[in-house]
Chains A and B, each alone.
Chain A
Amino acid sequence: MTRRTKFLGPIVAAAVAFGGLAPAFAADNQDVIDYRERIMKTLDAQVAVLGQILSGATPDDQVVSHLEAIAEAASQSLKSFEPKVEGGESLPVVWTNWKDFEMRMKDFQSKTRLAADTAKSQGKDAALTNILDALRCKDCHDVYRKKQ
């Protein structure tokens, strides 16, 4: 280590410790936020088309595929919230109340997976019987998402 780097070393360490290099990390944080938001937007899109089908506005011939897409995106969601990066539409309570959040997400994952598997094995009508119980989006959004 040269004299100059010896001199800079403590400064860099202090900058990192006190957030002086925040811009470099902010870019990473934005990636984390973008990642989870895109997963939630996927869920939003597929739940919306399912809603259209349930309301009779759209034919129901792709229900199995939509349920599978919802289950798949639901399986991605918890992982995307694991990095504790506040911002976007997430409230800090996601991480301060992680156990509850995690439990709700796992419940969401298992119920949407069950619905998708039921649709494949028993048909769409069987899967749609309890679908509203699987898609309790609002319960979570009321607690963990910023008011829109």
Chain B
Amino acid sequence: MNRLVKCGLALAVLVAPVMAHADDQDVMNYRKNVMKTMGEQNALLQMVVAGKVPADQFVSHIKTLHLAATQAKKAFEPKVVGDGSTGSAKAEVWSNWADFSKRIDDQVTKLAALEKAAAEGGVAKAGPMIATSLDCRGCHENYRVPKK
């Protein structure tokens, strides 16, 4: 093995953890932005229901929330555990994947029904369904590192 190849291999070993870290951060950034979308649109929905803002974009908020929910499962497929600062996903997300993914699927199904109801009957029809359609806390309590 000539010196150049040896140097190349040594460099690769040294650089690899840095690149792996960068990839992990990308994975965490991706899912955090998807969850951020859900958080923001959920907050907007709650503002509409509370009568703080007009209801004319109610359906759009639910549609966006539904879209983000459909993005969530894929965003969590790569197993990158958070530590509470750079990421917030607990290891249980992956050790208990069947339950976690089922909860996301259920959330997507419920939001699809909520969107349909909102499109058909606006706040009057979909408003009463919101509490049972959004189970953010149920999942966060089990799968998210508590905020510091």
Total interface residues on A, CB under 8 Å, equals: 28
A38 touches B40 (CB 8 A): yes
**Smallest CB separation, B53 vs chain A (Å):** 5
Q: Which residue of A lies closest to B32 (CB)?
A: A45
B33 touches A62 (CB 8 A): no
Q: Which of A72-80, A100-108, A128-136 contacts B (4 or more CB under 8 A)?
A: A72-80
Docked pose: A28 CA to B60 CA in angstroms? 22
Docked pose: A31 CA to B51 CA in angstroms? 10
Q: Which of A3-11, A16-24, A46-54 contacts B (4 or more CB under 8 A)?
A: A46-54
A52 touches B43 (CB 8 A): no
**Smallest CB separation, A53 vs chain B (Å):** 9
Q: Chain B, interface size: which category? A: 20 to 34
Q: Say whether chain A's binding surface is mostly helix, strand, loop, or mixed.
A: helix
Docked pose: A54 CA to B47 CA in angstroms? 33
Task: Tell me whether A32 is interfacial, beta carbon within 8 Å.
Answer: yes
Residues of B in contact with A (beta carbons under 8 Å apart): 23, 26-27, 29-30, 33-34, 36-37, 40-41, 43-44, 47, 52-53, 56-57, 60-61, 63-64, 67-68, 70-71, 74
Which 7 pairs of residues, A with B, have the shortest CB-CB distance? A45-B33, A57-B26, A31-B52, A45-B36, A38-B40, A69-B67, A42-B40
